[in-house]
Amino acid sequence: MPVTLSLAHALDLPLEAECIMPSTFAGKKLGEMRRLEVYQGNQTLTLGDFFDISGSAGKTADSTTIIVEGDLERVKRIGQKMAGGAIHVRGNAGMYLGAEMASGRIHVSGSVDSWAAAEMKGGNIQIEGDAGDYLCAGYRGSWEGMMGGRVYVGGNVGREMASHMRRGFIAVRGNVGAPAAARMMGGTIIVSGDMEDRIGIQATRGMIVCLGSVKSMLPTYKFSGTSQREFIGYYLRYLHSRRPDFLTKTIGSGERWMKFLGDFAEENTYEEIYLRDAANRHLLSR
């Protein structure tokens, strides 16, 4: 039986609730869960001051599932540093959802605020709505962005997605703001919608596939021809096997893809960007 947290009343101030994760709940009784510490403003309070809590936790994180209900836009750090188990957010969630996550699964039926999956190391996050700025990014001053795991966003993503990304997989059904994948050092990104300009500033390794339109490409990226790319079909079949609703465009076996290599402002760069030719011919008319 999962643990269900129902927000008891609307929040007038943001709530820091990093205790909401399976490893913290595992092995605890309801009374112990209610006494877990949360932070609001300069006060240290308890989880039971804000949530009605029911159900039971498993003995381990992997056997514990948490369901969180209510207007959670001001509830921060749900699943931060999560290591095993599952969280289901029925609605929107605040900042830092799944940040530094190592393993487990998070599903959000709504949208999330900034810094979701920041410096994520492993696990699976599925967001049905939009994601704010800095999805899967490294914190300010850090050279370590996303280092593993999978993130799926059913809506749009804000600015600076995947900065300093090293490994992992990101799929976005909607559009992505600028500048995406800045200083990317590995991993794979698939975007079904459109992307703004300045993709891959100072990127040195990794792959980006965009099925929609890209506003412009940096002059430090070299156009490397247009052709059919059979291996892209592999990645799209992988995405279709997990989230078929993400492939909003019909991609045939004969689809042609533009290839860009860069960022040649850096040394030893192996970044590859593949853009659907039918949606990006404007890039060759410069």
Profile the chain (286 residues) by mean pLDDT over runs of 10 residues: 95 97 97 98 97 97 97 97 98 98 98 98 98 97 95 98 98 98 98 97 98 96 95 95 91 92 94 97 82
Tokens of 176: 């992505």
Cα–Cα distance measured from residue 8 to residue 20, given in angstroms and rounded to the nearest whole number: 15
* Predicted pLDDT of residue 286: 54
* Predicted pLDDT of residue 250: 82
* Predicted pLDDT of residue 253: 80
Cα–Cα distance measured from residue 259 to residue 154, given in angstroms and rounded to the nearest whole number: 26
Cα torsion angle, 22, 111, 145, 149, sign = positive
Q: DSSP secondary structure string, 178-205?
A: SSTTTT-EEEEEEESS-B-S-TTTT--E
Cα–Cα distance measured from residue 112 to residue 173, given in angstroms and rounded to the nearest whole number: 15
Q: Is 204 helix (H, G, I), strand (E, B) or coil?
A: coil
Tokens of 86: 């599952």
Compute φ and ψ for 197, nearest 5 degrees: -80, 180
Compute φ and ψ for 180, nearest 5 degrees: -80, 150
Tell me if 47 sits within 8 A of 53, measured CB to CB: yes
Q: Per-domain residue ranges for the chain?
A: 114-284
